[in-house]
Amino acid sequence: MAVSSSSWELPLVAVCQVTSTPDKQQNFKACAELVREAARLGACLAFLPEAFDFIARDPAETLRLSEPLGGNLLGEYAQLARECGLWLSLGGFHERGQDWEQTQKIYNCHVLLNSEGSVVTTYRKTHLCDVQVPGQGPMHESNSTMPGPSLTTPVSTPAGKVGLAICYDMRFPELSLALAQAGAEILTYPSAFGTVTGPAHWEVLLRARAIETQCYVVAAAQCGCHHEKRASYGHSMVVDPWGTVVARCSEGPGLCLARIDLSYLHQLRQHLPVFQHRRPDLYGNLGHPLS
């Protein structure tokens, strides 16, 4: 299906692809360069991937490098948002929550900042990645991380109404359906996808989430070798509500840009009104609407 408008007045979003390491300041420098480039190109909202702050070598290092939301690093990103005058989706911050002293575990926290540097909303990853994929190395996120207690209601941004998720969440369509029924027009899956699951599942899952929810899907990704123990697939992209990949990052760190056409989205939902045709009497209400 063709995009209904080519107007340059449509909001522009930037999807940033980075290779995080255990060096937090170097990571910030790399992210800040991309955010400034996004602002220069006219983006109103820039998306950074999961673990934009750092990717550690082991759970002990992860815990040692973590910070509270009120710490220095988020302060630097708040200043960056103000300096550049754009919103930031910080796709997975290693957060020491209010229960840090009791649990000695963190949250994988997606933070949305507005152009004044204020926290608009947060989402703590609800599905933790505890998997063993041959050839990719085991992942045991729960060794250092607590699951979030709830979903977050989508929020209005200059690009549209954004629903927050993180990486492994994309494997659970109930979450995306709940966000869509709560009004989301853009779903976000900031990620650090593996090099085995990436080629097999990354694009097809993102396109499926876009098609079934009739939302734009924005997926900022980690790429390349983070350290001797871990590498990520990359291939950051934006998918439109028809399931077409409308922007994609090339290999290595960088960014891609896409315009968000909400009139096209709502026109598509009128032409193909799947949410009016659901049959919860037969299979339950998958993805209960958020309160």
Residue among 127, 131, 126, 89 nearest 110 (CA): 89
Catalytic residue among 16, 129, 167, 249: 167
CA-to-CA distance for 87 and 145, rounded, in angstroms? 27
Catalytic residue among 31, 44, 50, 105: 50
Per the annotation, the verdict on 203 as an active-site residue is: no
Per the annotation, the verdict on 125 as an active-site residue is: yes
Per the annotation, the verdict on 229 as an active-site residue is: no
Residue 241, φ and ψ in degrees, nearest 5: -65, -15
DSSP 279: -
CB atoms within 10 A of CB 132: 9
Query: How many residues in total does the chain contain?
Result: 291
Catalytic residue among 31, 67, 125, 256: 125
Say whether 170 sits in a helix, a strand or coil: helix
CA-to-CA distance for 232 and 21, rounded, in angstroms? 12
Say whether 248 sits in a helix, a strand or coil: strand
Residues assigned a catalytic role: 50, 125, 167
